[in-house]
Structure 1
């Protein structure tokens, strides 16, 4: 389908590999070739989302894919909560980060999904695009409300709550280089200090 339509496709699926299961996102380029697979790194375990019971931690690297339309990173669901991961995608050259997730109504405080990814876009100088599930499963109602943020941290397109829609949004990667992150934040980083601060803590 990617080759037929001339588009990049990012899937999200339950992958079984050598007897282990992962929350995985293959990235398929516009020529139909699979560029690689991102697997969720951080695994959670809380009410209704007991994922440590079935998922294994995925990649140890923050992969960025050089696609026909730009450099793409993927932060699967829970991984978006980790600024270290979101920054690593930026350092690896991501121009846009896609976030496939299954977020339910009332799971987090109102507006937090949006606030979190607006900040990530602003701090890292890339676009963020959240694609959230809709529908119901047992006790959960998935909220939809997918959206795209530009590198200034502004939401530029969104879908409605609880309704399955196709979101179409134009992006301009020239805006990335004009962002505060690229003009200021990245130039003033002090990476020589960060290793000492964290030191595997």
Structure 2
């Protein structure tokens, strides 16, 4: 399986952001990608840098809507799976949402970010309702794919739930800024998740300077044995990574860790 992680800067020109995203999709498809994934809010500025206003909330869009429909057509034309992330409106609520589109253009579903943070320059609780779609794992032409959106990756319960439902690849759309966390922590977190759960983790990050933050890029892919096998830099890039999904079944987690779980002991703790 060949993964492509698209890290591109975003501006207030939403049409240009989408056009560049589609062009990157074509470059990835030309390079043989089976699945193309995008960073958090890939086709718009990172709005939560400032507190929510009615004008900013009005920039959300439905699913399906213009962005998803454009990618549905492109996925069907190129025979490639896409994992997007955008600012979704559903009635009077808005969400941080990853639609998953199969290689024939079918919208398989959407994952909404479950846990919503709020701190300086990440004022997300004014923008996003807590996700209510659960943690689906999608049967795609490229494999069984789960999504853990940005803040959700910090919750081991999320990463384990995707493994228990049979995810082979977990895509993590992220908005991580330069200097936000100690060096190496992103990698360690995704390496441990990949090793403990026996799947591929693919973290795709925003990149470039914006209103209050400079996003770090440095997207990367980890295999089920916890190794980083591909790493992007800090500029616009389409990162390609070849992974063998047969490694999922051969992993320590799938052969040992998941089989030896004791959920009868955990239920009371998880309910706290």
- TM score, norm. by length of structure 2: 0.72
**Residue of structure 1 in register with 2:250 after alignment:** 178
Extract structure 1 runs of 4+ deviating beyond 2 A: none
| Map 1:17-36 → 2, pairs under 5 A | 17-36=90-109
Report whether the alignment pairs 1:156 with 2:257. no
**Residue of structure 1 in register with 2:123 after alignment:** 50
For residues 79-119 of structure 1, the C-alpha deviation after alignment (integer angstroms, 9 at most, x for no partner) is 00000000000001100000001100011111111110000
Report whether the alignment pairs 1:188 with 2:266. no
- TM score, norm. by length of structure 1: 0.97
Q: Tell me which of 165, 170, 183 is aligned to 2:237.
A: 165
- Which structure 1 segments of 5+ residues have no match? none
Report whether the alignment pairs 1:89 with 2:156. no
Report whether the alignment pairs 1:73 with 2:128. no
For residues 137-175 of structure 1, the C-alpha deviation after alignment (integer angstroms, 9 at most, x for no partner) is 1220000000000000000001012x0100111111110
State the structure with bigger RCO (CA 8 A, min sep 6), 1 or 2: 2
- Which structure 2 segments of 5+ residues have no match? 1-73
Cα deviation, residue 197, structure 1: 2.3
**Residue of structure 1 in register with 2:269 after alignment:** 197
